[in-house]
Amino acid sequence: MSEKTAAEQLKEQLFLKRKNGRLTSDEAVLNKAQEYCEGYKDFLNCAKTEREAVKAAVKAAEEKGFKKFEYGKTYAAGDKVYINNRGKTLALAVIGKQPVENGVNITAAHIDSPRLDLKPNPLYEDVDLALFKTHYYGGIKKYQWTAVPLALHGVCVLKDGTVKEVSVGEKDNEPKFVINDLLPHLASEQVKRTLNEGIKGEELNVLIGSHPFKDDKGSELVKLNILKLLNEKYGVTEEDFLSAELEMVPAAKSCDIGFDRSLIGSYGQDDRVCAYPALTAVLEVENPENTALAILTDKEEIGSCGNTGLESDFLRFVIGDLAKMQNGDPTVALRRSRCLSADVNAGMDPTFQDVMERRNASLLNYGVVVTKYTGARGKSGTSDASAEYVAEIRSMLDKEGIVWQTGELGKVDIGGGGTVAMFIANMGVDVVDLGVPVLSMHAPFETTAKFDIYMCYRAMYEFMK
C-alpha cells in the first residue's frame, strides 16, 4: 500500500469529516438503536396528543421511582420528582449532588404536533351528512390532511367538572373519520388554485356519520343521531363542545420504513422524536453531579404561548422551587444552568435538495444534529448559541463517542423556523438546539432514522447524568 501524500495527511488533520454513522458504527450499536426504537414506536402510538404524552410519561416515570413534587418538602441527592402542569407540560428532575443553585442540566422538548382542532361549535349537518368543523393547529400543508383516515382524541369537560377522555379511531375495530377531497373529474377550478390554497381552512371538514335518527319528522336527524351516540357513550350534549379540547390526528400507526427497516414513519415525530429520548434519558439518570431536568412542553407549534408553553414562567418556577427547597437563589440557579433544546431539524431529501444548502444541511443516519441557531432569514426568532457553549457540547459528544452533525433549517432566504431555545435563553441559560433530522416535517406521516434517534438519546443521557 502506497504511503499517503503530504496533502492527504494534511487533509486528514484539517478537513471536516462527515460520514454515515451506519458505516462507522459496529453491529452492537446498530442493534441497540434498533431495540431502542421499538419502545419509541410504542410511545408514538399511545401519545398522539400532548395530554396523552404527559400521561404516558408520568406512568413511565412512576414505574422508575419518580414521585410527585411536594412544595416545601426537602429532597436529597438522587431523589426523583415530577411536576405536572395542567396535564399538558411535564417536568422531571433527578436531584443532584451539587446544590441546585450551582446550575441545572436541562433538556427541553415539545410534545405538541400539528393537527386539526375541533372548533368550539363544531357539529353540523348538510345534505344528510354529519361533519365537524376544524381549526388547524400549527403549520400544515392543508391538502395533505384530505382523504386519509383520522382519529379523534382529547377531552370533554362537562359543566359539573367531570372530565371525559375521548379516543376513537385507533383500534382496528373502531370507526375512522375523513376529510373528503373533490374528485379530479370536477376539479377543473380547484386545480387552478395555488398549492397553498388547494384546500382552504374552512374546507377541512371531517365526515363523522350519515345515519339519521329514526323519525321521519324534523330536520338535522343525522346530527341528532350523532349527538345521541355521543351522549350515550360520554354523557355530553352539544353545549359541552364549548368546554372541550378535541383533536383530529392521523389514525395510522408508527412503522418501520424501508426493506432494511432502518427508518421510522409516523405522525407526530416533530417533536416526540426528541421528547422520547429526553424522557428515557432522565429516567435512566442516577445520582447526577448537577440536578438533571427534562421538560416536555406544550404549544411550541404555535409560538410556545399560554401557561403550558415555554414562553410562560413554568420552567422558571420549576427551577425556582427546586432552588428554594435548598434555600438557594433561583436567579443564580438559572444563570448557571445549561440546556439542550431538543428539537428536530430538516433532513436533506434527495427529491427536494434545491431548498437546502448542502454544506450546512443535516443528513439521515449522520447522527444527532447540533443546530447553533434557527430563525428565519436574518436569524429572526433565535437565540444563536455562543461559540463557547457549542464547543462545550461538541467536546462532550466527541468524548462519549456520540455520532453528531450540524445543520441549518434550509437556505437563508427561503424560510426557517424557531424552537423553544430562545425562551430558555431569555432566562439567562446557556442553550443550543440538538435533535433528530426529519423528512416530511409537519406532514401527517414523517420519517426519521433509527440511528439518529438512538444518538439523540445517548447525547441527552450523557448531558444530564
What one-character-per-residue DSSP string does 97-158 give? SS-GGG-EEEEEEE----EEEEEEEEEEEETTEEEEEEEEESS--GGGGSSS-EEEEEEEE-
Name the nearest CA neighbour of 117 among 206, 234, 227.
206
- What are the φ/ψ torsions at residue 317 (nearest 5 degrees)? -65, -40
Q: Spell out the long-range contacts of 84-87 with Cβ–Cβ below 8 A and sequence spacing 24 or more.
A: 84/54, 84/58, 85/307, 85/308, 85/314, 86/307, 86/308, 87/51, 87/54, 87/55
Give 294-314 pLDDT, tens digit per residue. Answer: 999 999 999 999 999 999 999
163-192: pLDDT as tens digits: 999 999 999 999 999 999 999 999 999 999
Question: pLDDT at residue 415 above 80?
Answer: no
Q: Which three cell numbers stand for residue 206?
A: 371531517
Nearest to 34 by CA among 460, 453, 329: 453
Q: pLDDT at position 8, please? A: 86
Element counts in the chain: helices (H) and strands (E): 11, 23
Buried b (16+ CB within 10 A) or exposed e, 68-93: ebeeeeebeeebbbbbbbebbbbbbb
Across all residues in the chain, what is the average pLDDT? 95
List of residues 6+ apart from 361 with CB closer than 8 A: 346, 347, 348, 407, 408, 410
pLDDT at 369: 97
Q: pLDDT, tens digit, for every residue of 33-75?
A: 999 999 999 999 999 999 999 999 999 999 999 999 999 899 9
pLDDT digits (tens, 9 = 90+) for 312-352: 999 999 999 999 999 999 999 999 999 999 999 999 999 99
> Do residues 369 and 434 make contact, with C-beta atoms less than 8 angstroms apart?
yes
| pLDDT at residue 1, as a whole number | 58
Rounded Cα distance between 105 and 339, Å, is: 6
Q: How far is CA 211 from CA 169, 207, 220, 234, 448, in A?
A: 18, 12, 11, 19, 41
Are the C-beta atoms of residues 328 and 95 closer than 8 Å to each other? Answer: no
Mean pLDDT for 424-429 is: 94
Residue with cell 444563570: 335
Q: All 3 cell numbers of residue 65? A: 421511582
Residue 216 has pLDDT above 80, yes or no: no
121's grid cell: 361549535
On the question of pLDDT at 229 being above 70, the answer is: yes
pLDDT digits (tens, 9 = 90+) for 76-88: 999 999 999 999 9
| Mean pLDDT across 203-232 | 92
User: Phi then psi for 68, rounded to 5 degrees?
Assistant: -65, 130
pLDDT for the residue numbered 214: 85
Please report where in the chains the cell 438512538 appears, as a residue. Answer: 454
pTM of the model: 0.95
The letter for the amino acid at 372 is K
Q: How far apart, in whole angstroms, are the C-alpha atoms of residue 36 and residue 39?
A: 6
Q: Give the number of other CB atoms < 10 A from CB of residue 218.
A: 9
**What's the number of CA atoms in the CB half-sphere (13 Å) around residue 455?**
29
Amino acid at 365: N
